[in-house]
Amino acid sequence: MLEFRDKNFISLQHLRLLRWSMIRGLLLFIFLFLGAAQVHSQCTVYDGQGNVSGNPVWVSCSGGTYTLYIQSPNNFGALTINWGDGTANTTVASLISPAFISHTYAANIANYTVTITETNGCTITGLVVMEEPVNASIQIPIGGVTQTCAPDLLIFTNSSTDVSTNTTFTWDFGDGSPLETFGDTNAGQTISHTYEQGTVDCVTEVTLEAENYCSFGNPTTASFNPIQIYDIDEAIITADFQLLCYPDTIVHFDNMTDKNCVPQGNTPTI
């Protein structure tokens, strides 16, 4: 009996030790997780809008030189900053809030990747955008026309200005077809579109929207009108009587053809 109680006592001791080991391991995991989260949350700087970010974006729309300020609500140890423009890296022993480090970029339309590296392993990658607000514009190329008979294609030139690599273009050809979106390489290009029968009621308008970082959500819009798409007329005949009784035998027929692209509309004839 004593031997049996001793075994129970040893088993209980093992159970307590195992339970405490599990609790200690869980506490250690929580401590390390919170510590890692705290380090991660401190790996931030202010972006161009004054918000704290680990992947900041700074935008300059002046078209001139731009001075970037690296500032953080947190304190950093030794830092190395690669400005991304081919100039020498900047190295400092520390960056204590609210202190800042500045760098001036030459006037240009370009994107620069900024890499901020702290010796403890914290790395922040940001983007400097230097451009101007894009201006949408449409032209008809030499030899192009603004009217045709469907089905046929028309051609248009994207003559937008102040285009940067961040620019997005959206074409609307006014016939209910899906919008067409392109990148910055669409600038200066000629684009064609086929107008099918029954898609345009004679006169329509072509629009082009252009947007980049400096548009701040408000794209510029260019339009070209009128674009005239002639289609097959729809022949229609009407009669003043469909049933007559003798001696009434005269029926008047009217030509009520639906004429496509005629400004004055239908002209009945007897």
For the chain, 270 residues long, the average pLDDT of each consecutive 10-residue run is 44 53 49 39 90 97 95 96 97 96 94 95 95 97 94 97 97 97 98 95 94 96 95 84 86 82 50
pLDDT at 110: 94
Domain coordinates in residue numbering, the chain = 1-41, 45-130, 138-230, 233-270
- Would you say 141 and 188 are in contact if contact means Cβ atoms under 8 Å apart? no
8-state DSSP, 34: H
* CATH 2.60.40 is held by the domain 45-130: yes
pLDDT at 11: 56
- In CATH terms, are 45-130 and 138-230 the same topology? yes
Beta strands in the chain (DSSP E): 45-46, 52-53, 57-60, 66-71, 79-82, 90-92, 100-105, 110-118, 123-130, 138-139, 147-149, 152-158, 168-172, 180-182, 190-195, 202-211, 220-230, 237-239, 253-255
Select 138-230's CATH number: 1.10.4100, 1.10.760, 2.60.40, 1.10.10. 2.60.40
Gap between the Cα atoms of 138 and 124, Å rounded = 41
Pairing verdict, β 100-105 and 90-92: unpaired
